[in-house]
């Protein structure tokens, strides 16, 4: 997700120096052939020409920096919008279409409410906990109420964009991560309980994980000298493993929906899910390519890897389904694409397009088996396959990153002399797989323990599950007093 600090700094220096040096040479030549004299002020210094030159160079350096910022910031603001779009309406539609008609609004409402709730929480305290200076596990309170988050960049994170841009970009990640969990307890969770659960989950699970992988001093931060550098470009562990594993815990704790697995509960609108999945694919370019935090070639590389991973996974899932059921379904194919996007997320800025294809294919087939075979063996009601796709896909992707990461794409590790070291297993760094495993294990552990504790507390205080008659009537009516489709309204 981050350029190496060294790389960003040296690039900046090079870009500023070249034009400044050229201009200085030009100015010297002009003075040498007698350019018209500038009027000097009565108390001019001994070398007014040198002053003027210094001022011009300073202005040039500023202009170059502004131009660099303008390109990077433009892309990052677009990326932020794309990632928000992934939640609303991407995920809202994807999940909304998968549930029964009587629950469509309540499902979409969960995603939308999080867009509002997490935003406020982020501004008040969560950004500081995730990205403020603290210790290896959590940030501090220095940036609460977004203090110190303004137009100036923070070079530890992104040297060419305002810190405020970085903050708003990261906010969109903090929004979609809890929204993914809602897929596990769809159609049976109280709205009030969900809201409280998500606030606590954001503070107890998401903020520490984000801090460890991406924050200053984070234990797993590969760009800022973490003790166990885990390669996670856009959030395979931070977003998908944490949410997916938490989803599994929720599904097991809340127990299945009434009638599961006997009654058929097919999606009420695969059409909505289809549209949602397409929005997710497009939005994911902001999620992955935006994690380059700049508009340069690394963003392109991540963009391309993301796209190829999605395509390969869609075909992988579809082929597996065609072989097993005799027909490739639309729902299966779009689910495959999502699985590929999940798996490529940690790898996007580290792997080549061909590696992305391999990762995508593997994820498509693996996640297909998770949501069909494994789910049916253990009978957990992960209603919308949050664990099967995000938890499993994220874990697989994080591990495959350790295999396929290449320093030719993105040099992450340097030795004492500054020479580039190999990134992943194929390139010759077998140890990285261990670091990836550590990152994944921490994500699993934090998700399981954190989620269990929060579930118990919220259940005791508010109660998690709706009463049976509410579940039968449907949450749209019982929790929100609304109907999604009032088709028979009188004229």
- Cβ atoms of residues 160 and 12 within 8 Å: yes
Compute how many residues bind another protein; rule: CB under 8 A: 16
Of the pair 78, 374, the CB lying nearest another protein is at 374
User: Which position has the token pair 């579809």?
Assistant: 318
327 dihedral zone (left: phi>0; alpha: psi -120 to 50; beta):
beta
**To 10 degrees, the CA torsion angle through 375, 381, 385, 386?**
-120
327 binding another protein? (CB under 8 A) = yes
Cα–Cα distances in angstroms (integers) from residue 266 to residues 189, 269, 280, in the given order: 19, 9, 21
Q: How far is CA 101 from CA 258, 477, 485, in A?
A: 16, 11, 8
Of the pair 62, 376, the CB lying nearest another protein is at: 376
Distance in Å, CB of 107 to another protein, minimum: 17
Q: How far is the CB of 114 from another protein (least distance, A)?
A: 25
261 binds another protein (CB under 8 A): yes
Q: Which of 285, 267, 282 is nearest to 330 (CA)?
A: 267
Whose tokens are 């990326």? That residue is: 79
- In this structure, what token pair is assigned to residue 314? 């869609």
Contacts 24+ apart (CB under 8 A), 460-463: 461/196, 462/190, 462/192, 462/193, 462/196, 463/190, 463/193
- Minimum distance of another protein from residue 399's CB (angstroms): 24
CB of 334 to another protein, least distance (A): 13
Judged by CB under 8 A, the residue of 72, 156, 385, 476 near another protein is 385
**Cβ 318 to another protein shortest distance, Å:** 13
Interface with another protein, residue 376, by CB under 8 A? yes
Q: 3-class DSSP state for residue 139?
A: strand
**C-beta of 321: minimal distance to another protein in Å?**
8
Q: Please, which residue, 223 or 372, has the CB nearer to another protein? A: 372
Of the candidates 111, 160, 372, 432, which one interacts with another protein according to CB under 8 A? 372
Rounded CA separation 277/90 (Å): 6
Query: Which region among 146-154, 226-234, 371-379, 427-435 touches another protein (by CB under 8 A)?
Result: 371-379
State which H helix or E strand residue 297 sits in: helix 297-325
| 42 touching another protein, by CB under 8 A | no
If DSSP codes are grouped into helix, strand and coil, which group holds residue 158?
Answer: strand
Residue 241 has a CB neighbour count (10 Å cut-off) of 32
Q: Shortest gap between Cβ of 65 and another protein (angstroms)? A: 52
Work out whether 473 is an interface residue with another protein (CB under 8 A): no
Distance CA 434, CA 443 (A): 14
Per-residue interface string for the shown chain with another protein, residues 428-467, x marking contact by CB under 8 A: ----------------------------------------
β-pair type (420-421, 413-414)? antiparallel
Contacts (CB under 8 A) with another protein, residues 267-306: 267
378 lies in the binding site for another protein (CB under 8 A): no
User: Which residue among 34, 36, 42, 264 contacts another protein (CB under 8 A)?
Assistant: 264
Q: Is 379 in the site for another protein (CB under 8 A)?
A: no
Taking each continuous run of H as one helix and of E as one strand, the counts in the chain are: 18, 2
Cα–Cα distance, 411 to 179 (Å, whole number): 33
Question: Residue 149 or 371: which CB sits closer to another protein?
Answer: 371
Q: Of 9, 17, 255, 324, which one interacts with another protein (CB under 8 A)?
A: 324
Task: Specify the stretch interacting with another protein by CB under 8 A; choose among 77-85, 283-291, 357-365, 366-374.
Answer: 366-374
Of 157 and 185, nearer to another protein (C-beta) is: 185
Positions that interact with another protein (CB under 8 A): 261, 264-267, 324-325, 327, 329, 331, 371-373, 375-376, 385
């Amino acid at each position: 997700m981050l350029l190496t600090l060294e790389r960003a700094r040296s690039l900046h220096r090079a870009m500023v120096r070249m034009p400044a040096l050229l201009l200085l040479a030009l100015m010297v030549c002009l003075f040498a052939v007698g350019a018209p004299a500038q009027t000097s002020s009565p108390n001019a210094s001994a070398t007014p020409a040198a002053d003027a030159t210094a001022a011009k160079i300073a202005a040039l350096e500023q202009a170059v920096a502004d131009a660099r910022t303008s390109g990077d910031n433009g892309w990052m603001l677009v990326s932020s919008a794309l990632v928000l779009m992934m939640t609303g309406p991407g995920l809202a539609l994807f999940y909304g279409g998968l549930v029964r008609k009587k629950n469509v609004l309540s499902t979409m409402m969960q995603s939308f409410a999080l867009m509002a709730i997490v935003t406020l929480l982020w501004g008040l305290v969560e950004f500081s906990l995730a990205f403020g200076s603290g210790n290896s596990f959590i940030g501090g309170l220095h940036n609460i109420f977004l203090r110190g988050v303004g137009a100036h960049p923070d070079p530890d994170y992104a040297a060419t964009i305002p810190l405020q841009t970085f903050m708003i970009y990261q906010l969109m990640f903090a929004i979609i991560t809890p929204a993914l969990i809602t897929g596990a307890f769809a159609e049976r969770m109280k709205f009030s309980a969900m809201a409280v659960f998500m606030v606590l989950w954001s503070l107890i699970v998401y903020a520490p994980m984000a801090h460890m992988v991406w924050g200053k001093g984070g234990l797993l931060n590969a760009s800022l000298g973490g003790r166990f550098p885990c390669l996670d470009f856009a959030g395979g562990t931070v977003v998908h493993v944490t949410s997916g594993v938490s989803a599994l815990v929720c599904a097991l704790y809340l127990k299945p929906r009434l009638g599961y697995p006997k009654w058929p509960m097919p999606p009420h609108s695969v059409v909505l899910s289809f549209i949602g999945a397409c929005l997710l694919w497009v939005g994911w370019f902001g999620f992955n390519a935006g994690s380059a935090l700049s508009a340069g070639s690394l963003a392109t590389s991540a963009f391309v890897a993301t796209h190829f991973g999605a395509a390969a996974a869609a075909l992988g899932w579809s082929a597996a389904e065609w072989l097993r059921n005799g027909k490739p379904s639309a729902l299966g194919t779009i689910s495959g694409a999502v699985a590929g996007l999940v798996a490529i997320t940690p790898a996007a800025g580290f792997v080549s397009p061909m590696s992305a294809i391999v990762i995508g294919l593997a994820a498509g087939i693996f996640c297909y088996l998770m949501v069909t075979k494994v789910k049916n063996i253990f009978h957990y009601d992960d209603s919308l396959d949050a664990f099967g796709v995000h938890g499993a896909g994220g874990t697989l992707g994080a591990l495959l990153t350790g295999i396929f990461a290449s320093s030719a794409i993105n040099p992450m590790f340097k030795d004492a002399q500054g020479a580039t070291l190999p990134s992943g297993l194929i390139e010759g760094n077998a140890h990285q797989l261990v670091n990836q495993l550590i990152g994944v294990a921490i994500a699993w552990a934090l998700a399981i323990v954190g989620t269990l504790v929060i579930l118990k507390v919220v259940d005791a205080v508010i109660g998690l599950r709706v009463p049976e008659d509410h579940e039968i009537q449907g949450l749209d009516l019982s929790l929100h007093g609304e109907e999604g489709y009032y088709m028979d309204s009188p004229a």
